[in-house]
Structure 1
Amino acid sequence: MGATRSATDGTVAVVLAIALGAVCASPARGEGPARAPAIPAGSTERALAALAAQGDEQILFDPRLVQGRRSPAVPPGMPLPLALERALAGTGLSLRRVGPGVLVVVPDAAQAPVAATGPDVVVTALRRPTLLSGTNASLVLVSAETIAARRLTDQQALARVLPELAVTPTGPLQRRLAIRGVSGTGEGTVGVYIGETPVSAPGGTGADPAAMAPDVDLVDIERVELLKGPQGTLYGASSMGGTLRTLFRRPEADSITAEVAVEGGITARGAPTSAASAILNVPLVQDRLAARGVIARRRSGGVIDNPRLGYVDGDAVTRESERLTLTWTPAHDIRLDLIALAQRQRIDDAGAWRAADGRDRAAVATRPRSRSALSLVSGTLQWSPRSLRVTATVSRYRWTIVRELDFSEVIERQRYDPAACARVTAAGDGIGCDPVVLAAYVDARSPALLHQPMTVRSTSGELRVSDGGAGSWRWTLGVFAEHRRESVDSFTLRADAATGGVLRPFDVTGLRSLESSLDQQAVFAEVERDLTDALTLVSGARLFRYVRAGDGAVPVANLLTGTGGIASGARYRSAAGGSNLKAALNWRIGSDTLARLVVSEGFRPGGVNITPELSADERVYQADHLWNYELGVRSQRLGTELAAFHIDWDDTIVAANSVNGAFLYNTNLVSVDINGIEALASRSAGPARFTAALAWVDARLAADTLLGTSEGIGHRGDRMPNMPAMTIMLSGETRLSRISPTLAIGAAVAAASSSRSTFNATSPYHERTPSRVTVDLFARWSSRAWSLRVGIDNAFDADAITRIQSSAFGERQVYTSRPRTASLTIARSL
Structure 2
Amino acid sequence: MPNTKRFICAAIFLACGTPALAENRQPVDLPAGGLGPAVIALGRQAGVSVGISDPELSALQVKRVRGNFGVKEALDRLLKGTGAAYMNVGGNGWRIIRRTSEARTARDHSRKGIALAAIEEVQPEIIVTASKKDTPLSKYPGSATMLSMAEMPIGSIGGSTATLTSRVAGMTSTHLGSGRNRLFIRGIADSSFNGPTQAVVGQYLGETRLNYNAPDPDLRLYDISSIEVLEGPQGTLYGAGSLGGILRLRPAEPQLDALQATASMSVALTAHGDPSADISATLNLPLIEGSLAVRAVGYGIRDGGYIDDTLRNRSDVNRTEIAGGRIAVRAEPGDGWTIDLGGTFQSIVSRDSQYADRNAPRLTRSSAIAEGSSNEYVLGQFIARKEWDSLVFTSATGIVGQDISETYDATPPTGFPTVFRQRSRISLISSENRLTQTLVDGSSWIVGTSLVRNRYRLNRRFGAASFAPTIAGVANGVDEATLFGEFTKAVTPRINVTAGGRLTYVRLSGAALDAPAAIIASVALLQGRRKEAEFLPSFSVTYVPDDSLTFFGKYQESFRPGGIVVRNDLIQRYQNDQVSSFELGLRFGGRHKTGMDGSLSMSRTRWRNIQADLIDATGLPATSNIGTGRIWSIDAVLGWRPIQGLRIEASGVFSDSRLTNPAPTLLLLRNGSSITPKPGVTVIDSNDLPNVARFNGRLSADYFASLPGGFELSLSSWVRYVGRSRLGIGPVLGVPQGNYLDTSLGLRLSRERYGFFLNATNLLDTIGNRFALGSPFTLPYIGQITPQRPRTIRVGMDARF
- Fold shared per TM-score above 0.5: yes
- The separation in 1 between residues aligned to 2:640 and 2:334, in whole angstroms, is 40
* Post-superposition CA distance 1:497-554 (Å, at most 9, x none): xxxxxx4xxx233343432211111111110011112111100100001122111133
Percent identity of equivalent pairs: 22
- The separation in 2 between residues aligned to 1:755 and 1:675, in whole angstroms, is 15
- The separation in 2 between residues aligned to 1:266 and 1:524, in whole angstroms, is 50
Residues 645, 611 of structure 1: CA spacing in aligned structure 2 closer, same or farther, 3 A cutoff?
same
Aligned-partner SS, 1:159: helix
Q: Counterpart of 1:735 in structure 2: which amino acid? A: F
Q: 1:233 offset after TM fit, Å?
A: 1.9
Q: In the alignment, does 2:575 pair up with 1:604? A: no
Q: In the alignment, does 2:427 pair up with 1:457? A: yes
Q: In the alignment, does 2:194 pair up with 1:183? A: no
| Counterpart residue number, 1:641 | 599
Moved more, 592-601 or 511-520: 511-520
Greater share of strand: 2
Q: 1:106 offset after TM fit, Å?
A: 5.2
- The separation in 2 between residues aligned to 1:244 and 1:111, in whole angstroms, is 31
Residues 472, 217 of structure 1: CA spacing in aligned structure 2 closer, same or farther, 3 A cutoff?
closer
1:107 to 85, 106, 114: 85
CA contact (8 A) 1:631 1:643 kept: yes
Structure 1 gaps of 5+ residues are: 1-79, 98-102, 202-208, 414-442, 496-502, 558-562
CA contact (8 A) 2:411 2:777 kept: no
| Counterpart residue number, 1:672 | 629
- The separation in 2 between residues aligned to 1:532 and 1:813, in whole angstroms, is 57
Q: In the alignment, does 2:387 pair up with 1:388? A: no
Q: In the alignment, does 2:444 pair up with 1:474? A: yes
* Post-superposition CA distance 1:768-804 (Å, at most 9, x none): 2241111101100011100011010111111131121
| Counterpart residue number, 2:573 | 620
The 5-angstrom pairing of residues 351-500 of structure 1 reads 351-409=354-412, 446-495=416-465
- The separation in 1 between residues aligned to 2:167 and 2:125, in whole angstroms, is 19
- The separation in 1 between residues aligned to 2:398 and 2:604, in whole angstroms, is 35
| Counterpart residue number, 2:180 | 174
Q: In the alignment, does 2:744 pair up with 1:776? A: yes
Residues 114, 714 of structure 1: CA spacing in aligned structure 2 closer, same or farther, 3 A cutoff?
farther
| Counterpart residue number, 1:197 | 208
Q: In the alignment, does 2:253 pair up with 1:250? A: yes
CA contact (8 A) 1:366 1:447 kept: yes
| Counterpart residue number, 2:612 | 654
- The separation in 1 between residues aligned to 2:343 and 2:178, in whole angstroms, is 26
| Counterpart residue number, 2:110 | none
Aligned-partner SS, 2:359: helix
| Counterpart residue number, 2:675 | none
2:229 to 226, 231, 239: 226
Q: In the alignment, does 2:759 pair up with 1:788? A: no
Residues 710, 360 of structure 1: CA spacing in aligned structure 2 closer, same or farther, 3 A cutoff?
farther
- The separation in 2 between residues aligned to 1:764 and 1:490, in whole angstroms, is 22
Q: Counterpart of 1:593 in structure 2: which amino acid? A: L
- The separation in 2 between residues aligned to 1:226 and 1:259, in whole angstroms, is 27
Q: In the alignment, does 2:530 pair up with 1:574? A: yes
- The separation in 1 between residues aligned to 2:165 and 2:613, in whole angstroms, is 24
Rg larger for: 1
CA contact (8 A) 2:473 2:566 kept: no
- The separation in 2 between residues aligned to 1:470 and 1:167, in whole angstroms, is 42
- The separation in 1 between residues aligned to 2:329 and 2:179, in whole angstroms, is 30
Aligned-partner SS, 1:724: coil
1:808 to 764, 777, 786: 777
- The separation in 1 between residues aligned to 2:789 and 2:246, in whole angstroms, is 26
| Counterpart residue number, 2:52 | none
Q: 1:171 offset after TM fit, Å?
A: 5.9
CA contact (8 A) 1:118 1:683 kept: no
Q: 1:448 offset after TM fit, Å?
A: 1.8
CA contact (8 A) 2:613 2:729 kept: no
| Counterpart residue number, 2:726 | 756
Q: 1:584 offset after TM fit, Å?
A: 0.5
Aligned-partner SS, 1:281: strand
* Post-superposition CA distance 1:463-487 (Å, at most 9, x none): 0111144335311001000111222
- The separation in 2 between residues aligned to 1:745 and 1:575, in whole angstroms, is 55
CA contact (8 A) 2:759 2:795 kept: yes
Residues 121, 150 of structure 1: CA spacing in aligned structure 2 closer, same or farther, 3 A cutoff?
farther
Q: Counterpart of 1:146 in structure 2: which amino acid? A: E
Q: In the alignment, does 2:582 pair up with 1:629? A: yes
| Counterpart residue number, 2:687 | 718
Moved more, 788-797 or 514-523: 514-523
1:157 to 126, 150, 163: 163
- The separation in 2 between residues aligned to 1:642 and 1:624, in whole angstroms, is 28
Q: 1:238 offset after TM fit, Å?
A: 5.3
- The separation in 2 between residues aligned to 1:779 and 1:368, in whole angstroms, is 36
* Post-superposition CA distance 1:69-94 (Å, at most 9, x none): xxxxxxxxxxx9669x69x9689733
| Counterpart residue number, 1:818 | 789
| Counterpart residue number, 2:700 | 731
- The separation in 2 between residues aligned to 1:252 and 1:515, in whole angstroms, is 43
Aligned-partner SS, 1:160: helix
CA contact (8 A) 2:373 2:406 kept: yes
- The separation in 2 between residues aligned to 1:775 and 1:143, in whole angstroms, is 21
Q: 1:288 offset after TM fit, Å?
A: 1.3
Aligned-partner SS, 1:219: coil
- The separation in 2 between residues aligned to 1:237 and 1:96, in whole angstroms, is 38
- Number of equivalent positions: 680
| Counterpart residue number, 1:11 | none
CA contact (8 A) 2:614 2:623 kept: yes
Residues 453, 703 of structure 1: CA spacing in aligned structure 2 closer, same or farther, 3 A cutoff?
closer
The 5-angstrom pairing of residues 141-156 of structure 1 reads 141-147=146-152, 149-151=154-156, 153-156=159-162
Residues 797, 777 of structure 1: CA spacing in aligned structure 2 closer, same or farther, 3 A cutoff?
same
Aligned-partner SS, 1:94: helix
Residues 238, 487 of structure 1: CA spacing in aligned structure 2 closer, same or farther, 3 A cutoff?
closer
Q: 1:279 offset after TM fit, Å?
A: 0.4
Aligned-partner SS, 2:339: strand
- The separation in 2 between residues aligned to 1:90 and 1:517, in whole angstroms, is 55
Residues 324, 770 of structure 1: CA spacing in aligned structure 2 closer, same or farther, 3 A cutoff?
closer
Q: In the alignment, does 2:278 pair up with 1:275? A: yes
Moved more, 113-122 or 160-169: 113-122
- The separation in 1 between residues aligned to 2:421 and 2:714, in whole angstroms, is 48
- The separation in 1 between residues aligned to 2:141 and 2:582, in whole angstroms, is 15
Q: 1:391 offset after TM fit, Å?
A: 0.2
| Counterpart residue number, 1:349 | 352
The RMSD of aligned alpha carbons is 2.7
Q: TM-score, normalised by structure 2?
A: 0.80
CA contact (8 A) 1:222 1:249 kept: yes
- The separation in 2 between residues aligned to 1:236 and 1:712, in whole angstroms, is 32
Residues 796, 581 of structure 1: CA spacing in aligned structure 2 closer, same or farther, 3 A cutoff?
same
Residues 817, 644 of structure 1: CA spacing in aligned structure 2 closer, same or farther, 3 A cutoff?
same
Q: Counterpart of 1:107 in structure 2: which amino acid? A: A
- The separation in 2 between residues aligned to 1:138 and 1:399, in whole angstroms, is 31
Q: 1:151 offset after TM fit, Å?
A: 2.1
- The separation in 1 between residues aligned to 2:495 and 2:523, in whole angstroms, is 58
Aligned-partner SS, 2:256: coil
- The separation in 2 between residues aligned to 1:470 and 1:337, in whole angstroms, is 29
The 5-angstrom pairing of residues 502-513 of structure 1 reads 503=466, 507-513=467-473
2:76 to 80, 83, 93: 93
- The separation in 2 between residues aligned to 1:283 and 1:355, in whole angstroms, is 55
CA contact (8 A) 1:564 1:612 kept: no
